[in-house]
C-alpha cells in the first residue's frame, strides 16, 4: 500500500508542469536600449560578433558600460560617439559610409556586376547557334574510305 502512495507521488512530481513555474523575465526599456546599442557595436576581441551576442569578458564589460551611461542619462548617440572616440570606426558593426570605407560598401556590388557581365558574355558565346557561321561541307570521301565503310557495314 505504501509503495502505491510513493509511486503516485512520484508520478505527480513527474507530470507536474514545472516549466510553467519558471519566471518570465520582463525586459525594461533600459534593457531594450542596451540591447539595441550593443547590437551595433563590435566585440573587439571576437570574430564578427557584436557585444550583445558575445560572452567575452570585454563584451560583458562594454554592455555594463552602456547600461551605466544610459542610467546617467547619456543618449544612444553620445554612447556611440564615446565608443567611436575610444576604438575608432572598427568598433562599429556597420562601417560608416565615408572615405575608403565606401570601398567596402561598393566593391562587392561592383565585383558582382563585373563578374555577371563576364559570365553573361561567356554564356552567350556558348549558346550562340553554330549555324550563324556557315558550315563547310565535309570533304568528299575517297574511294578507299568508301570501300572500307561498305565492308564494315555489311561484314562486321
Partner 1 sequence: MSRGLQFSLVIGLLALFALFYQGLWGDPRSIPTVLIGTTAPTFTGPDVESGQTISLDQYKGKVVLLNFWASWCYECKVEHKDILRLHQQFKDHPNFVMLGINYQDELPDAKKYLKTYGSTFQHVRDIKGSLAIDYGVYGVPETFVIDQQGVIRHKWVGPIVGQVYTNLTENVITPLLNNTPPST
Site mask, partner 1, residues 20-39, x = CB under 8 A?
--------------------
Q: How many CA atoms lie within 13 A of 125 on its CB side?
A: 6
| 113 touches partner 1 by CB under 8 A | no
Burial 10-23 (b: 16+ CB within 10 A, else e): eeeeeeeeeeeeee
What is the rounded distance in angstroms from the CA atom of residue 20 to the CA atom of residue 15? 12
CA angle (86 as vertex; 80, 89 as ends), nearest 5: 65
Q: Are 67 and 51 a contacting pair, CB within 8 Å?
A: no
Contact region for partner 1 (CB under 8 A) — 8-16, 20-28, 53-61, 140-148?
53-61
For position 86 contacting partner 1 by CB under 8 A, the verdict is yes
Closest distance of CB 112 from partner 1, Å:
14
Q: Find the part of the chain contacting partner 1 (CB under 8 A) among 3-11, 79-87, 92-100, 126-134.
A: 79-87
Least separation in angstroms between CB 15 and partner 1: 45
Cβ atoms of 58 and 45 within 8 Å: the answer is: yes
Structure-block grid coordinates of residue 49: 560578433
Q: Kindly tell me which residue out of 65, 74, 80, 101 binds partner 1, with binding defined by CB under 8 A.
A: 65
Report d(CA 20, CA 117) in Å as an integer: 58
Q: Counting contacts by CB under 8 A, is residue 40 touching partner 1? A: no
Q: Which is nearer to partner 1, 121 or 154 (CB)?
A: 121
Contact status: 141 vs partner 1 (CB under 8 A): no
**Minimum CB distance to partner 1 smaller for 27 or for 68:** 68
Rg of the chain over CA atoms, in angstroms?
36
Contacts with partner 1, residue ranges (CB under 8 A): 44-45, 57-58, 61-62, 64-65, 68, 83-88, 114, 118, 121
Amino acid at each position: 500500500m505504501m509503495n502505491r502512495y510513493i509511486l503516485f507521488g512520484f508520478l505527480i512530481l513527474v507530470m507536474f508542469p514545472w516549466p510553467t513555474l519558471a519566471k518570465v523575465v520582463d525586459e525594461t526599456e533600459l534593457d531594450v536600449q542596451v540591447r539595441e546599442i550593443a547590437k551595433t557595436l563590435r566585440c573587439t576581441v571576437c570574430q564578427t560578433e557584436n557585444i550583445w551576442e558575445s560572452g567575452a569578458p570585454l563584451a560583458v564589460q562594454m554592455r555594463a558600460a552602456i547600461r551605466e551611461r544610459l542610467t546617467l542619462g547619456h543618449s544612444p548617440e553620445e554612447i556611440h560617439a564615446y565608443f567611436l572616440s575610444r576604438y575608432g570606426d572598427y568598433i562599429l558593426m556597420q562601417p560608416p559610409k565615408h572615405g575608403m570605407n565606401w570601398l567596402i560598401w561598393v566593391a562587392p556590388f561592383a565585383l558582382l556586376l563585373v563578374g555577371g557581365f563576364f559570365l553573361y558574355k561567356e554564356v552567350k558565346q556558348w549558346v550562340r547557334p553554330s549555324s550563324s557561321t556557315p558550315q563547310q561541307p565535309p570533304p568528299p570521301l575517297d574511294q578507299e574510305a568508301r570501300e572500307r565503310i561498305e565492308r564494315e557495314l555489311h561484314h562486321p
